[in-house]
Structure 1
Amino acid sequence: MASSARPAMRILSRRLDTLRQPSPAPILHQARYLSSTRYSNPAKRTFTAAPAATPPTSSFLGNKTSEQPSEIEAVPASLLSPNSRGTPEAKRQYHVRRMRFAAMGLLLTLVGLGFTISRLELDDMGQVKKAQGVGKQQLDASNEANMTFQGKEVHVVGAGEDKRIVAEGQGQQIELVETGTSSVPHFPRTILLPVLAGAASQSTEQQPGAAPIASAIDNQEEYTLVGLGIRTVMWIQVYVVGFYVRTSDISYLQEKLIHQVNPIASTLVPSEKESLKAKLLDGTASTEIWAQLLAVPGIQTAWRVSPTRNTDFSHLRDGFVTGISKRTQEARKGLAGGQETEFEAEDFGQAIQSFKGIFAGGKAPKGSILLMVRDRGGALEVLFQAKPDGSGNEKAVERLGGVADERISKLIWMNYLSGDKVSSEPARKGVVDGLVVFAGRPIGSVEARVT
């Protein structure tokens, strides 16, 4: 009996020895598999059977009991953990790089968060909380604000294509156009601007923020809206801008536009209107057309700018100056090496400084109005109208200053209307659509309709 129990004890002791041995790291199983497969080592394409006398390398639990050194050396370095490869210096560099990437991501996150917070109108949000209660914030304008325009009640007359929006009050009726944003919901279809004949020569003497010129305010001219759009920086709305032309100059503008397509026509047919629209949206063709339309002496036009959020004159000035700089750089690129443009002259630099001085200090709250008027000689006049107070009383228009050099106003106008990139693509498209409508009517009919 003792002799028969000995073989069983030997088998059991062998299995107990296997159980006592520590299990190898999981990476060795992976290494064994990858090193033994024919795809991991193209040189070993044939299978060699193990000798019959070789003892089994796995127990009944399926654990490997031995590994060949050559198999471990064949493990790709990419499968090893960072802590198991390289020298201590390499490990340290690895962790330093990870820390730098993490710090950079944290820094970018904080910068983005700070920029977003700086653009929020926290004061307005606080006022909305007080008026509507906590948890009912409204970042856009309220319905009550949308139903008034410069202290006058807004009414909608009709529906569909025949719908008209008018503001009535104080013995006046103003026809309005929707802007597409409830921050500044409406623009007037026509505006009255002072006749500032000869004011350009006084631009250097007039100080920013000066009182309105009484003689100019008494004499006013009517301007008609051509088109408008919203200027955005990234995804943030900055202001609504509308392009106006003096009503008495509309027939001259129609003639110029129509003759761009058909020199002998008095109006354009649908196919010709599409051709004009394509030209006005093309980078090169639009530059040529507007160079002719803005030639001096020419038509009188104006831009009406209304901020959609509280800002100041310096921010508006920076945007205008940036646009002027881009246009001057484009002009330099179009010339051969060594040639100078008209913008290299010393008097142009002085004109730039005069333009910057117009916007020295001052606030431009949401709903206020900045007007830039270009007369027949190209001189620029900048006017400002403060936002109506709580009682709805309309504020007087003030003259901030002017620049006589026609190159300044020309570059600002071109930055909105021509070229491959403009300050506000929606504004350009709105103006182009309005010009096409003008060109599709007989010369003189638009002016008569407005009047």
Structure 2
Amino acid sequence: MLLQRRTIGRTAGLARSPAAAVTAAGSHSSLPALSWTPRRTLFNRRRRQERLSGRAIETLDIQRMSEQAVNYHRNRRIFLWSGAIAGVVSFVYTAWKLKLELEKGHKLDSNLPASDPLASPAAADRKVVIHDDQGREIVPTGNGTVPFFPRVLHLPAFTAPKSPALPSDKTSQPLVVPPTPDGSTTEYTLVGLGLRTVTFLNFQVYVVGYYVATSDIAALQNALVKKVNPLATTLVPSERDQLRAALLDPAESERTWDALLASGVPARSAFRVVPVRDTDFHHLRDGFVRAIQARAPEGAAMDDKFGEAVREFRTAFNRGSVPKQRELLLVRDEKGRLSIAYDGSGPGKKKASGREVIGVIEDERVSRTLWLNYLAGKKVASEPARTNIVEGIMGFVERPVGTVASQVLPVANANV
């Protein structure tokens, strides 16, 4: 029995495959057939996979994976910051190029096609008369929202008692004062117009036109002609160039217009403001008040009367919204009194209210500072308007003093 077990042990040790086991079992028919299956362990499986694939299995390197994650996020941040900086630079560059094109006088919102002869540079000295469907003379502005301004305005004498004292509640609506009911009107002639823009992107705000009472143009002609040549009644081209340079010079224009307005020349004039986008009275008021404070006469800041006049001006604008294409009039009379009239009627409004006076400011310095904000100084509310007004004045002074300037502004000069 012991010998039999040893034989089986030796046979099992020699038979490493099922076929060998069968052969061994056949030689000892009296013994049972045996087979051997190798045991599988974790290390045996790994060595078998290595032999099959021909390469070693990679182990996890936590430190290297952490470094890769850090590098990925750093490169991602650099890429995002580069894109943001490139976007800002391209935006600023585009805005700068647009500003240069606008300064060159290119019309970006013109109602005249490029093929129109009136849009050519040769039309700069051409006098054009345009009539609307009712036969009234109008002047193109070059703006699509407010395409035309009337050449002549017929305004009543906006006179009223001094504005009442400010109420304790600053949010209350100001008193609306109607114009005089006698029906008399004064004719005002358009001198020049232009578009007011804000920010370096030149966002369009409103079109403004400067009107002078037709019967007061002679006094303005005489004062400007005598400034250049005291013995002349009209100016030759070289003298007109001299006057043009003076009215466009920051310091000289300030002195000239301040002296004229202080002496009551022209006696009656008006600014017509028409928004090209929806706005409100508070927005317009803030712009006007900044102009008044920036150009206030010396010592006016300590003058209680001037301060009260500015508060009355603020109260007049304590109202609601101003839709586009609505008319706001700033009218200065022979005493320097400022009347503010608003016409709330317009396209899309069922009830036409017409012009109504919303405020009257007695202090002459308020209207004078507002007029200087458009006519003179280094920085004006609308440089296109100031330039166009000067060109309109050049058309006046080229005629003999005393003749009424009935011409219409050149279309090219009215571009906004």
Q: Which runs of 5+ in 1 are unaligned?
A: 1-82, 84-90, 113-138, 144-159, 332-339
Give the C-alpha shift of residue 327 in structure 1: 1.9
User: What is the match of residue 162 of structure 2?
Assistant: 201
> Which structure 2 residues correspond to residues 280-429 of structure 1 after superposition, within 5 A?
280-298=247-265, 299-328=267-296, 341-390=299-348, 395-429=353-387
Shift of 1:183: 0.8
| Distance (whole Å) between structure 2 residues aligned to residue 426 and residue 392 of structure 1 | 34
- Amino acid of the residue matched to residue 407 of structure 1? R
Question: Is 1:433 matched up with 2:391?
Answer: yes
Contact 2:158/2:179, CA 8 A, preserved across alignment: no
1:162-200 superposed Cα distances (whole Å, 9 cap, x missing partner):
64211233xxx3200011101100000010111134x25
Unaligned runs of 5+ in 2: 1-66, 92-107, 113-122, 409-416
CA distance change for structure 1 residues 394 and 271 in 2, over 3 Å: closer, same or farther? Answer: farther
Alignment partners' CA distance in 2, 1:216 and 1:447: 30
Q: For residue 324 of structure 1, report the CA deviation from its aligned partner.
A: 1.7
Q: Structure 1's 209 and 346: CA in aligned 2 closer, same or farther, altered over 3 A?
A: closer
Q: Displacement of 1:437 after TM fit?
A: 0.9
Structure showing greater radius of gyration is 2
Separation (CA, whole Å) in 2 of partners of 1:411 and 1:301: 14
SS of 2:211's partner is: strand
Equivalence for 2:188: 223
Equivalences, count: 301
CA distance in 2 between partners of 1:300 and 1:306 (Å): 20
Give, in whole Å, the separation in 1 of the partners of 2:304 and 2:130. 49
Aligned to 1:168: 133
Kindly indicate whether the alpha-carbon contact (under 8 Å) linking 1:200 and 1:380 is maintained by their aligned counterparts in 2: no
Q: Which TM-score applies when normalising by structure 1?
A: 0.59
Residues 443 and 394 (structure 1), Cα distance of their counterparts in 2 relative to 1, 3 Å cut: farther
Separation in 1, partners of 2:189, 2:173: 27
Structure 1 position 201, deviation (Å): 2.5
Choose which of 255, 274, 290 in structure 1 pairs with 2:222: 255
Counterpart Cα distance in 2 of 1:379 and 1:391: 31
Q: Distance in 1 between matches of 2:308 and 2:166?
A: 14
CA RMSD of aligned residues (A): 3.6
Q: Paired residue for 1:274? A: 241
| Cα shift readout 1:227-248 (whole Å, capped 9, x = no counterpart) | 0000011321100000001111
Which one-letter code corresponds to 2:218 in the other structure?
Answer: S
Q: Distance in 1 between matches of 2:149 and 2:216?
A: 21
Q: What is the TM-score normalised by the length of structure 2? A: 0.64
**Greater relative contact order, per chain length (Cα 8 Å cut-off, separation 6+):** 2
Task: For residue 290 of structure 1, report the CA deviation from its aligned partner.
Answer: 0.2
1:239 and 1:419 map into 2 onto residues whose CA distance is: 20
Paired with 1:296 and 1:365, the residues of 2 have a C-alpha distance of: 36
Partner of 1:213: 178
Q: Equivalent residue of 1:446, what SS?
A: coil
Q: 2:212 maps to what in 1?
A: 245
Q: Cα offset for 1:264?
A: 1.0
Amino acid at match of 2:129: R
**Partners in 2 of 1:341 and 1:354 — Cα distance?**
19
The letter of the residue matching 1:164 is V
In 1, are the aligned partners of 2:218 and 2:402 still within 8 Å (CA)? yes
**Deviation at 1:215?**
2.6
2:139 aligned to which of 170, 173, 177: 177
Deviations 1:317-341 (A, max 9, x none): 011111122224xx6xxxxxxxx62
Offset from partner CA, 1:333-355 (integer Å, 9 cap, x none): xxxxxxx6233212222111111
What are the residue-to-residue correspondences of 1:113-128 with 2, within 5 Å? none
| 1:78-103 Cα deviation digits (max 9, x unpaired) | xxxxx9xxxxxxx99xx7xx79x959
Give the counterpart letter for 2:273 in structure 1. Answer: V
Cα 1:283–1:217 change in 2 (3 A) is farther
CA contact under 8 A between 2:345 and 2:351: conserved in structure 1? no
Q: Distance in 2 between matches of 1:102 and 1:200?
A: 63
| SS of equivalent to 1:384 | strand
Taking the TM superposition and a 5 Å limit, the aligned residue runs for 1:35-184 are 102=81, 161=126, 163-169=128-134, 173-184=135-146
Q: Secondary structure at the match of 1:294?
A: helix
CA gap of 1:383–1:214, structure 2 versus 1, over 3 A, is: closer
> Is the alpha carbon distance of 1:282 and 1:392 closer, same or farther for their aligned partners in structure 2, counting shifts above 3 Å?
farther
Matched residue type, 2:369: L
The 5 A counterparts of 1:19-34 are: none
Runs of 4+ that moved beyond 6 A? 139-143
Distance between the aligned counterparts of 1:392 and 1:267, measured in 2? Answer: 49
Judged with a 3 Å threshold, the aligned counterparts in structure 2 of structure 1 residues 210 and 447 are, in CA distance, closer, same or farther, namely: farther
Matched residue type, 1:383: A
Equivalent in the alignment of 1:65 = none
Give the match for residue 102 of structure 2. Answer: none
Q: 1:264 to 1:279 in 2, by over 3 A?
A: same
User: What is the Cα deviation at residue 281 of structure 1?
Assistant: 0.2
Q: Give distance in 1, aligned partners of 2:402 and 2:164.
A: 34
